[in-house]
Each structure stands twice: as structure tokens, then as C-alpha cells.
Chain A
Amino acid sequence: MSSINSPFDKPFEQPVDSPGGRMRPVPAERNYLNADYSVRSWLLTKDHKRIALLYLFSVSFFFFIGSIYAMLIRLELLTPKGDLVQAATYNKLFTHHGIIMIFLFLIPSIPAILGNFLVPLMIGAKDLAFPKINLLSWYLYMIGAVIVSSAIMIGGVDTGWYFYVPYSSNFSNTYVTLAGLGIFVLGFSSILTGLNFIVTTHTMRAPGMTWFRLPLFIWSHYATSLIMLLGTPVIAITLLLLVFERTFHVGIFDPTIGGDPVLFQHLFWFYSHPAVYIMLLPGMAIISEIIATFSRKNIFGYKFVAFSSIAIAVFGFLVWGHHLFSSSQSVFAGMIFSFISFAVAVPSAIKVFNWTATLFRGSISYDTPMLYALGYIGLFAIGGLTGLFLASLGMDVHLTDTYFVVAHFHYVMVGGTLLAYLGGIHYWWPKITGRLYPEGWGRFSALIVFVGFNLTFFPQFLLGFLGMPRRYHAYPPEYQVLNVLSSAGASILAIGFTIPLIYLLWSLRYGPKATDDPWMATGLEWRTSSPPPTENFVETPIVTWEAYEFAPQETMKVVGKLTPDDKPDRSSYSGN
């Protein structure tokens, strides 16, 4: 593939072999990490890569807090009696778990960390279109996070993360107003990120980077940004209306003063169902990249996968009524929403089938990111298909508000998004930090996560089908065995999340230095140094190749270390 010769093929000095077969230390070149060490240079940075790291720290912190709530929930459910916490406390536990995991972790996780880092790199830009707005979005995130955290610390919220009226407006005496305002602010952070990605994708692509040469990561993030931009204002205004009703007793949702409680559910889910796709599409973005790289093939049906992202974003806005099947929504509307919900399965299935077809006759290697990606495909398929149970009008009446729903969305959110996120963090870790993580530990923890995840959530499908309702701190004794399995799985899952935390931190200091393209991947982000310089590329790349155009391994340039029998290992090649 000689067409892939690009002017920036080898912009930096690579590590070279010394006679002993060991790598000589190469003088540190300037990159975005060592450009400036002052605190100010981090807190006032306009570099998208540094802002991504700011997000990485803060979002990981809240993931940790949200996980503690999850562990407390699972600990309480270990025994049928409500013996660890009181019912009212339990209500706060699952509310805090939901609010933190959704608004502070899942929604910003992939777009604001990996998206922020990679969108400019992948399209060959120096930065996002609005670097200052990007920094502003992080500050808004932090302000929102502080408001939500303070609501939690001074007493907490007990309405569930969905704040359903009339409980949240007329009855709950917890800190609903404060939490609502916090989420209102967080929404703006999300809107600004979305806006930035859309403008960047439209205006900042490198010469030659046409829309259909974009990595699928960009297509998915573009679709995600559309949802952020079109949906988030609605949740913002809905929560503001709730705050208004609570504070000033304006009749919006309370029927006794002229409001309508179901209207809240309509408005809430108009955003919150598409928000599921804000969490899901970036995960799909990562999976497309990983599957292509580790099977060394172009994604099967590139355009179908690209447009299925857009289709998911659009269809996602037409299905919110399936959350209202048992909320006195009209039967006719229920039928419409049920039908459209089934339609969303089509673009999702296109992705799953096309990833699978990509694997076919691919040159597959089972590195850590690939293990997460393969896990994702299986778990997302289960999560997606059980969604169809819930989209069926009759079936849903039996399953509404049971653990079946909990299991379903955790298969999508944890088995889907979180696995993709972990896969993505591993995949781009060499690019972000310039260090390689220990592959053996990576694979090991990926397996632990997979096992722990299934043990946690599969029993919940059974529990829900048997009729165990969500959001109760006590349950009949016959459900105990499955609940114990689930709690045991949660502790395995916790171990699976802790191991990467340890070895990724370890690798920052002790990990071997990464080459520019340790996976022999094709994206533009691999054609600059690891970690990249502040301005991303020494010279503006000119793109003359299609996405995922893999060169045969034999034609690749060997730049890294050799194995004892003088053969290059995978990490010794330089991309294309």
C-alpha cells in the first residue's frame, strides 16, 4: 500500500536498538504533558488533550463514589431483611448511585475524555473549534458536580434519579431543588461539548479528510453531539420547571393547581431516553475502532455503520413513550411508541452484525482492548434484545419496575458503555500517556470484569422475571440465592475495576515507552508521537487514504525492539 506514504510518516525520532537488544533511552521530546508543569497551565489550559485529562480525573473520581453507592446497595440486598440501612436511607442510596453514575460518569465519560482527546487528533486538527468553550465545559461540569455533591452531603435526595412528580414536587423533603439545579448546570457542560464536536467536525477536518474517510469514532461522536445539542435543553428546562413548582407552587405538574404529572414524564424522557444513546453511541464509537484495528480489516459496511449512528440518534428521540406504558399514557400512543422502539433495534443490530462480519476472516489478536470489545458485543446484544421485551406493550406490564429492567439497562450501560470505555482507555493509553500498560494484567482484569459483570446482573433478569420489584431494601426470602449471587458478582466486578486502576497508575512510571503506533492502527492519531505534542501534528496532515486501510504486515517498517530470535513483535512496527 504505497499510497499510504504520507509526508509525516516518521516525524519524530523513534527508539532504536542498541547492540544488546535493549532500547536506548531517547531524550524526552516536547509533548503536551511536559510542555509546562505549573498548576496554572493545567487549570487554564486550552489544550483539548489536557482538558480531556482534567475530565479523566474528575469523572473517574465520581465513578469511584458512584461505585461505593452500588456496593452499599448490593450489601443491603445480601439479606432479605432490611438490616443494613433504613428504607429512607436506601432510597437515597439508589438515587445517589443513579444521579452520580448517569450525570457525572456515563454522560461525560467517553465524549468528554476520549472524545475530547481524540476528535481533533483523528481529523487532523490542532484543537477543537472552541478551545475556551471546551475549558468552560469542564468548569461547568465541576460546578454542577459540586452542587450535586453538596446536595448529597447536606442530606441527599430520595426521589430516584428520574425525579418523578408528584413525589419530587409535593412530598419529598430532601434536597431535590439543589440536585435539580446541579443537573441543570451539568447539562450546559454537555451542550457545550456537543456544540464543540459538531463545529469541529464540520470545519476543522484536515485536507483530504472527507466525511467518508472519517473514522467511525467521529461519526458516532457527531451523532452523540446532535443528541446533546437537541435533547439536553429539554431536561434542563424540565428540571427548572420542577424547581419552579417546588419553590413557587406554579401549576405545571401538580393537577390540583392545573398541572399534569404525566407531562413531567413526557418531558423527562424526551431527553432521558436519547440520553441513553448519549451514553451508548460513544461506546459504539470505540468498539468500531478496536474491532477494526485488532482484526486488521476495514469495518464491514462502513457507510451503514456510519449512518446507523445517525439513525440511532434520530430514532432515539421518537421512542421515549415506552417508559410510560404503565403511567396512564393512552393505549394508542403506547402502540406508536412500542412500534418505533422496535425500529431502533434495526440500526443497533446493523452495528452488531457489521462488527461481527468484520471479524470474519480477520487477522484477530486478543489484546486487552479487543477482549473488552468482544465482551461488549455479546453483552450489548443481550442488553439490546432484552430491551425488546420491555418495548412490547403486554410484556412490559409484567416487567415494569422489576429487576428485569435494572438488569437490562445495566447490560447496556455497564456491559456496553463501561466495557467500551475501559477498552478505549486501554487502547489509547499508549497515546495518552506514552506508556504501555502490562498486557497480561490487562487481559486478566478484562476477564474478571466480564465474569463479575455477568454474575452481578444475570441473576437480576431472573429476579425481575420472578417479580422482584426495584427500589426496595427488603425482599421475600425466596429471592435470596439470586441476590447473593448478584452481590458476590458485584464484589468481583469491584476487583476487576481496581486492578486496572493500579496497573494503569503503575505504568505511568514503570510502563515501557510506547511507540507512536503500538497497535499498528491506521487512524491519524497514531501518526503523531505518543504522547502528542501540544499542537498535535508537526505539520498539517494531508489525507490520501480511506479509513481503516490496513497495510499488509510484511510491508511495515520495523522501528522498535526485536524479540530474542530477532523477529519483530507487534509493538515494533510503525503503523503504515
Chain B
Amino acid sequence: MFHFRSDEKAATASAWTGDRNGLAVRGLGVTLGTRRILHDISLSARVGELTAIIGPNGSGKSTLLKAVTGEHAHDGEALLASVRVSPDNRRRLALMRGVLAQHTSVAFSLTVEEVVRLGVSVRGAHGPDAAMSVAEALEAVDLSGFAGRDYLKLSGGEQQRVQLARVLCQVGAPVGPQGPRWIFLDEPVSSLDIKHQLWVMRFVRDFAKRGGGVVAVMHDLNLTAMFADQVVALRQGRVHAAGTPQEVLTRALMSELYDCDVPVGEAPRDGSPFVLPHGARVSPGT
């Protein structure tokens, strides 16, 4: 475990990533109970890019996302725009990034608007650094007109989009007065229909293109290939490979990663990789 003074931390971060605004993770490990889930993870994610984290079930993707968003305690180092990810910085971090979990349960019967407004409350609705308005956020997730609906009566996919709208409200613009903002997403589209998978992925990629940063845990390799700028592949709690989709999403690497034959083709339109698992062989085991 490292203990740096804050100015040293900042210096280390910029030396490491060459990007003071980025997410810099070095030597990060997470132990839950007695189990070591993540070992010696190092990676960097840049603003302007969508970084996808992929890997088989149990490889530690969600744990990694929870560690770099401060939900799980970690050893090693995780800096977001030179701010150390730790409970002491929770308020600062809340203004820099939003986090969408895989599932968010809502305890009482709230309307959609009330749920989304909780995101607004982090930043406030007024002033130069104001949050995105509830209406804008609902529009961004294709739920205009849902404001008055009972959240608990929505479908799973709709609930997930409401939660994304809430996160968008918290995050506000891709770039704020204090610098770029970040969105961390844990399987944001796995419960969505294909239209809204594309809708949401386009929105978050656009968020990155406009100067924000996006880190998303992804299961769908095709969406990853289509939308990610950088792919980090985890296997058994370690970084197995990292690079552009073209570099990482290869048949050899994917077959190794998922321990199963994963045929990868090249999309005719732009040459980006795609996975077509027809006829793939699956063997039992790990």
C-alpha cells in the first residue's frame, strides 16, 4: 500500500498517464473477506474516450469498477483527474463523476421524476455549474413523458434508463468549469432492447467525444467493438490485455479470455471486429 502526500500523488499520476484528467490505476488490488479478487491492476483511461472493461463472469469487472468509484476499499492507487479515489474525497468525486450500478433498488414508491431529481440534488439546479435538468436527462435516455410514472411499475430496462438519467443529472455537461466529467457504468445496456442499447451507447460515446470520460463494464462484445475506444480485458482478477478493439478483440485473445472458441470477423462497413458465435465450440471447465 502506498501513502503519498497529495502533491506527490498528483505528480505521480501525471507522470504515469501523461493525462492529468484521466483515470490512473496502478497496482490496484481488492480483497473481499478473505478472497483476493483483483491483483495488481494497472490501467489508464483518458477523457474523450470510451473505455470498455470486458472479461468472463467472475473475472472482477464489477469489482474493478466498484474499486475505482470508491465503493470497495482497495490497495494500490486509483486517481481520477489526480484526485485519489477514497472516502475522504467522496464529495469532490461526486461532482466529478457519476456511477451507474448494475442494479439499483429503490426502497419506496417514487415517481420517475423524483428518482432523477436525486441526481440533480448533488449539484443543484442553478448556477454556472448546474446539473442537467430532469427533462433533458429523460430525453437523453428516450423516456420523455415518463416523469410522472411510478418507478417501481416500470420494466427492468426502463428502470435502468431512469437510473442512467439520474446519473446524467448528477454529472451534468461532459466538461464543467473544473474540468472533464466522468461516467462509470456497470453493464449499462444488458437489460435493454436493441434500440435502446444503441441509443444509450451512442449517447455515452457522444459524451466522451464532447470531452468527458466514460468507463463501462461490457458483456456484449459487438457493442464493445462498435463503441469502445479502448478495451481492457480482465481474466481471473488481472489485466489480460488492453488496447484498441482491433488489438484486443481477436479470435485468439477472445478464445483465451473466455476459454471458449470465439470466432471474430471483420465488419464489412468499417473493418471493426465483430463476434459471430455460430458454430463456436464450447467446452466445459473454468
Q: Do A and B bind each other?
A: no
List residues of chain B with CB under 8 Å of any chain A CB. none
Residues of chain A at the chain B interface (Cβ within 8 Å)? none
